[in-house]
Amino acid sequence: LHWSTKLLSPASLIYITFLPNSSWGKEMMELYNHYNRLSKEATEGQEDHGEEWTRLPSYNRTLKYATGGAYLSKIIQSKARLFTRNIRDPGAAFEYVLFFRQDKLKCVCIFQAGHLLEGPPGHVHGGAIATMIDTVTGTHASLLSAPVMTANLNVNYRSPIPLGSTVLIESILDKEDGRKMYISCRVTSTDGSKLHTEATGNFKSGKLFIIKHYMCINCKFYLNNFT
């Protein structure tokens, strides 16, 4: 089990990651190690690999302190969790890690789909795939600009994803037009030979979202709280 903690300024802005976990299969671990080796921290003082990725912290909600959810009681507000991080049983649902490559403005997500994500027998539910695509592309758009809302997500399912398997979700910025970001995304087998899903998304950042997210950390992103 690899623990990593980071303290961001001010002191209240702490995020903790505990990735990977024991449920990660061989393929997931190999890919994680591969991108980790190419990530900023890991490459310091080592030979230049020509590409530099940044591993994004593992968020379990977008704001550390409950500020939203007018229809929820205060107690329930504090229990709000990011949809993809709300099942605690390791390996049961969404196991994923995200890396970002600044120079190419692209993201890669390694995703291992657990048994609770079944749709067609033995395969991943289309809604779960769309959820991961929304998460990756939405995170990507937020990193490039400011917190966003998904305005449009167009998903084409090309071949089913076997339950329990590991896939790659890669996203790139197609176009930026004011506060609108256009991002496209491909879900493939880990060797890239099989295309599972293709998607395009349109994301909108707005003044209101920015004010609502005024507590975002200095790297223009969200807070994490693993309580």
Ligand X SMILES: CCCCCCCCCC(=O)SCCNC(=O)CCNC(=O)[C@H](O)C(C)(C)COP(=O)(O)OP(=O)(O)OC[C@H]1O[C@@H](n2cnc3c(N)ncnc32)[C@H](O)[C@@H]1OP(=O)(O)O
What φ, ψ does residue 128 adopt, rounded to 5°? Answer: -70, -35
Within positions 37 to 56, which residues make up the interface with ligand X, using CB under 6 A?
none
Q: Is 59:85 a contact under the CB 8 Å cutoff? A: yes
Identity of residue 13 = L
- Would you count residue 206 as binding ligand X (CB under 6 A)? yes
| CB 191, min distance to ligand X, A | 27
Q: Is 197:127 a contact under the CB 8 Å cutoff? A: no
Nearer to ligand X, 29 or 66 (CB): 66
Binding piece for ligand X, criterion CB under 6 A, among 103-111, 121-129, 155-163, 201-209 = 201-209
Q: How far is CA 29 from CA 81, 156, 201, in A?
A: 25, 28, 29
d(CA 208, CA 147): 10
List the one residue from 125, 180, 212, 220 that touches ligand X (CB under 6 A): 180
User: Is 134 designated active site?
Assistant: yes
As given in the structure block, the two tokens for residue 4 are: 């990593």
Measured from the Cβ of residue 38, the count of other Cβ atoms closer than 10 Å reads: 18
Catalytic residue among 48, 103, 134, 177: 134
Within positions 73 to 132, which residues make up the interface with ligand X, using CB under 6 A?
82
| CB 150, min distance to ligand X, A | 4
Query: Residues in the site for ligand X, rule: CB under 6 A?
Result: 59, 62, 82, 134-135, 138-139, 149-152, 180, 202, 204, 206, 222
